[in-house]
Amino acid sequence: MSSNTTHEIDIVTVPASKINTVDFENLSFGSVFTDHMLVCDFKEGQWHKPQIKPYEPFMIDPSAKVFHYGQAIFEGMKAYKTEQDEVWLFRPDQNLNRLNKSAVRMAMPEIPEEIFMSGLHQLIDLERNWVKKGMGNTLYIRPFMIAIGSGVIAAPSTQYRFMIILSPAKSYYSGEVKVLIADHYSRAANGGIGAAKAAGNYSAQFYPTKLANEKGYQQIIWTDDATHTKLEEAGTMNVFFRINDTLYTAPTSERILDGVTRKSLIDIAKRDGIKVEEKSVLVSELINASKDGSLKEIFGAGTAAVVNPIAGFSYDDVYYEVPKQEHSVALELKDKLTNIQYKLAEDTFGWTVKI
């Protein structure tokens, strides 16, 4: 895969890196950031020259539209380092495409490919020492855009700021996950912004997830807003169900995020002869599959954890254990995907991009 990485960018570097003060063996996900960040502003109807500068706070007007009307979108992606000290990205074009779809839905300007790709490449090249070798070590990449135009009139902003910040990460493991199936709260609705990576989608999940946590569950499997009968996503991840020897996952829609990990796992599964169906699984079907023994696995799929197996689920105050498998398709797919990302297996799809 090729990307345009030649856009002119002003670069201001830090006098001295803070990298030697970081304990890379004990990283809390998303809490430590690298020396530099990318900043590019949209104003007067156009994108201005991007800048890579030291990571630091910045001033913003208290009336900025992001605070009052929630115009904020983001992406999540990773960079990987091989044993040969090469740094690679995974399907960055998909993140750009989805970011721009989110921008359109939130009445924000689309980000030109040359700014996104060139900024991404030059920033990561500058920070390549922050990408550590070893399976599970990554550099988490957070591109985002916020409305910075001032004024509290309820209308889209005329000024925006696009940024990329970077955070070194270890292997993400959340332990055994038990989930509660939603029967009242909804993650997204038809006609809404569920398919966009809008900041408000995530804040709206916090309260029902808190209620689930208080009952002893780590996450929620979200259901459709109209009937609460169709299983859609797990927490902030897409969700898969293995019933007998078929993997099921809800089709993407305006309620469901088009996950990069999701679509990659589907392609790998199909390549390797694993049957996959993109169809909605009903709550009743899941319960029946659990009762008759045909339910083999449930797992979430997303950038942070890649694959997160689910140990059991609760619905209507009844808990259903998911049986542990001697051969886990979820973990097999995770290994195959991460081997491609770390260049330990041939990338037959052309997904990886070298920095």
Mean pLDDT within 43-60: 97
pLDDT (mean) for 17-24: 96
Q: Which residues pair with 125 in a beta bridge?
A: none
Confidence of residue 7 (pLDDT cuts 50, 70, 90): confident
Q: How far apart are CA 53 and CA 46, in angstroms?
A: 21
Assess whether pLDDT exceeds 50 at residue 291: yes
Q: Any idea which residue has 């009762």 for tokens? A: 291
**How do residues 231-274 score in pLDDT, each as one tens digit?**
999 989 999 999 999 999 999 999 999 999 999 999 999 999 99
Q: What is the mean pLDDT of the segment spanning 52-78?
A: 97
The residue-averaged pLDDT of 79-92 equals 97
Averaged over 281-298, what is the pLDDT? 97
What pLDDT does residue 5 have? 53
Percent pLDDT > 90 in the chain is 92
Instruction: Supply the DSSP string of 213-257, one letter for each residue.
Output: HHTT-SEEEEE-TTTS-EEEEETTEEEEEEETTEEEEPPPBTTB-
Q: What is the pLDDT of residue 305?
A: 87
**Cα of 34 vs its chain's centroid, Å:** 19
Mean pLDDT of 289-317: 95
Residue 172 is predicted with a pLDDT of: 72
What residues contact residue 26 under an 8 Å CB cut-off, 6+ apart? Answer: none
Q: With a threshold of 0.85, does the pTM exceed it?
A: yes
Report the SS3 class of residue 191. coil
Maximum pairwise Cα distance, the chain:
64
Closest CA to 81 of 119, 134, 123, 121: 134
177-181 and 219-223 beta bridge pairing: parallel
- Residue 121 confidence (pLDDT): 97
- Residue 111's closest CA among 141, 146, 138? 146
pLDDT of residue 304: 87
Three-state DSSP state, 35: coil
Give the H or E element holding residue 72. strand 72-74
Confidence of residue 3 (pLDDT cuts 50, 70, 90): very low
Mean residue pLDDT across the chain? 95
State mean pLDDT over 99-124: 97
Helices (H), 245-295: 260-271, 283-292
